[in-house]
Structure 1
């Protein structure tokens, strides 16, 4: 059994679940697995994955973990934590098929329930792949310690974001421990709730692309960012204040990130495109809003390594608070080729709708677009009018 702890998941899935059950409790969704690198999976992988998914039905939130959430996740109301205590994964929501080496996964059900599947499913797929192909991790602590020292030398504030494509739980666990010991105050925490609990570090996360994608499908692409931000603020009242910018391109986001949101949110997250260009756009935006950029934060989080962090820090040069969320480079740099896999929202059915509506994610990198070609073009035409 690969996932053995209910909290072995990223914080942002729980924050999004909480917002969903408050704002869209009856919404239904469809998620699909996207194998960006077209990796071929070994024979029998679907059956092994099915067994792992079925075993998750037995996961529960322990009393100790419940107490941890109450004490650390101050932005959750007690009623939501009680909901998690009674929550059980329903494996029937996950459909797995494999034809030769091509793996397909589809998740269907109520959004507030199915939102928790993405991260542990991807973690299972990744770890199971390396188990079944006989690949071994090497130099786990040595590589992690070298990176910890390099980031600390740069005075880069780093959080570990590597659950989805980790080599294994054991590797991620060991890496978080090394970062905590090797980086001191420059290590800010991990996205993984269980590892944050185990290692006594801060759980990190706010909202994902799917939050904005759903709003685009229900309310329209022109106003999706504004309504998504307003709904987030209504739920969290200023907490969890890092805004994701690139669901419908960063340029479109900043058009809707007016004075109210720019002042209320602590900062923004870069997740695609050129980080140097993004930095300049963010600085220009805050200055136009008469806000001192030094009072705000950019979280950089797309395929980072030591050299990229060095380049970004040199460009930022203290003009804005810069922090770095780093995933696969930390949790799966152990002598293997990591999988390039994601699970994305593809269709939604808002309460009262007669049928499912397609979703779109654009980003600032065309290679990260998701959705049908027809819907992507519709979205582009709409936001660029």
Structure 2
């Protein structure tokens, strides 16, 4: 096992680059990339970094030259032979050859496109523009770089023994959480913590701890690189990016209303089984389900990623019942701001009603709250989103208005088209 504290103390990033591989990313990004490669390869998209936590002055904390070095390093990466073999030959969700030969040939020749970086006050403006399949693969590594450089900026002020104690306390905290999770019967939980992790080495440690501490209750990790090296399942399906871009491409209100279902029709044609998970909250869960075609009710389950998770899960249960489906046979994946107490609460509330699963993210892989002065390592809310598609702005409404994004005029239009009324604001944890 890696001595993380010593690696941090002896840091030379050329030995420990933040992003080590093009598959040091979330599995759903590769699944979505293949779908985009097949269905919308010519779409031109702009991704942009968005720091929701404005009190974190990233440009003051992170040296611009070091940030550029890390981003340039990512642009030098390509798939290794072993990584290509794993993607081509491994079984994912019971399916062999998940990734088609034409997609793999393209991916094997890929280098990520250029970036635009500019300091604006105490924040960085970081954008990526180009064809959708290429540009979308910047999202996760860009976030990983910013998050870890912020961690390194704080850790750089600490001494060797102080680092040893910090990581000992952090490891104890993670292990105590794992011990608490052991008490939950029939638990199903995965690591979803790549995008806002403390560091790569720390996420890798957390995955190993989950493997040992939870056994079969630990179902895998969203991180492809770690899944490959630790021989665990790669977990993931799709994300808000798909409906956001499809919606931005819509020519009128009727096409806009249909766009979220067009996304899933394309997905339906490509995947089956446990990959058929609905993410319904991009433009409001209730309206999405009320207007959903009957064939969607036959899908495996849904992922709950914003708003009140209990309300969203009950909305899904009621919808399945109204469509003649048995909710107890459906999977509900909770994935928004989870920690042990909320996992326990939701598991108890929905036991026997649905097959509850949990995607545990930032508060697994980046919970250093209260462990350094001024809480300087506390996690914060940083995202990298598609903000334009073929020149049109993208919009996300969410079930939580605090997560909404896009020009206000377009937000108002989307609310009208999708019938979204007043929403209860929830604190954005991460």
TM > 0.5: yes
Kindly indicate whether the alpha-carbon contact (under 8 Å) linking 1:189 and 1:202 is maintained by their aligned counterparts in 2: yes
Q: Which runs of 5 or more structure 1 residues have no equivalent in the other structure?
A: 350-355
Measured in 1, the distance between the counterparts of 2:193 and 2:35 equals: 23
Report if the CA contact (8 A) 1:208-1:244 is conserved.
yes
Q: Tell me the equivalent position of 1:241.
A: 276
Whether contact under 8 Å (1:96, 1:103) holds in the other structure is yes
Q: Are the counterparts in 2 of residues 140 and 175 from structure 1 also a CA contact under 8 Å?
A: no
1:266/1:237 CA distance change after superposition, 3 Å: closer
The count of aligned residue pairs is: 376
* TM-score normalised per structure 2: 0.84
Q: 2: CA distance between counterparts of 1:237 and 1:181?
A: 31
Aligned CA distance change for structure 1 residues 77 and 239 (closer, same or farther; 3 Å): farther
> How many angstroms apart in 1 are the aligned matches of 2:21 and 2:172?
27
The answer to whether the Cα contact below 8 Å between 1:258 and 1:289 also exists between their aligned partners in 2 is: no
In the other structure, the counterpart of 2:374 is none
TM-fit CA distance, 1:72:
2.8
* Corresponding residue for residue 353 of structure 1: none
| Equivalent residue in structure 2 for 1:121, among 114, 122, 142 | 142
Q: Does the residue aligned with 1:213 lie in a helix, a strand or coil?
A: helix
What is the CA–CA distance in structure 2 between the aligned matches of 1:242 and 1:26, rounded to whole Å?
Answer: 26
Q: Which residue of 2 aligns with 1:343?
A: 384
C-alpha deviation, 1:316, in angstroms: 0.5
Q: CA deviation at 1:5?
A: 1.8
Counterpart for residue 13 of structure 2: none
Normalising by the residue count of structure 1, what TM-score does the alignment of the two structures yield?
A: 0.94
Whole-Å Cα distance in 2 between the matches of residues 271 and 293 of structure 1? 19
Q: Distance in 1 between matches of 2:45 and 2:182?
A: 42
Q: Deviations over 1:107-158 (max 9, x none)?
A: 1110010110001110100000111233655333322222222222113211
Q: How far did residue 339 of structure 1 move? A: 2.5
Cα drift, residue 239 of structure 1: 5.7
Please give the alpha-carbon distance, in whole angstroms, between the structure 1 residues aligned to 2:219 and 2:171.
19
In 2, the alpha carbon distance for the partners of 1:9 and 1:143 equals 25
Verify the 8 A CA contact 1:269 1:299 in the aligned structure 2: yes
Q: Distance in 2 between matches of 1:160 and 1:347?
A: 30
- Conserved 8 A contact 2:37-2:103: no
The answer (yes or no) to whether the contact 2:62–2:153 under 8 Å persists in 1 is no
**Structure 2 unaligned runs (5+)?**
1-16, 157-162, 372-376, 421-430
Of residues 319, 338, 344 in structure 2, which corresponds to 1:304? 338
**Superposition RMSD on alpha carbons, in Å?**
1.6
In structure 2, the residue corresponding to 1:323 is in which secondary structure? Answer: strand
Contact 2:62 2:150 in 1 (8 A): no
Q: Which residue of 2 is the match for residue 111 of structure 1? A: 132
The 1-side partners of 2:294 and 2:258 are apart by 16
Deviates further, 24-33 or 247-256? 247-256
Structure 2 SS opposite 1:133: helix
Q: Distance in 1 between matches of 2:107 and 2:412?
A: 39
Residue aligning to 2:109: 86
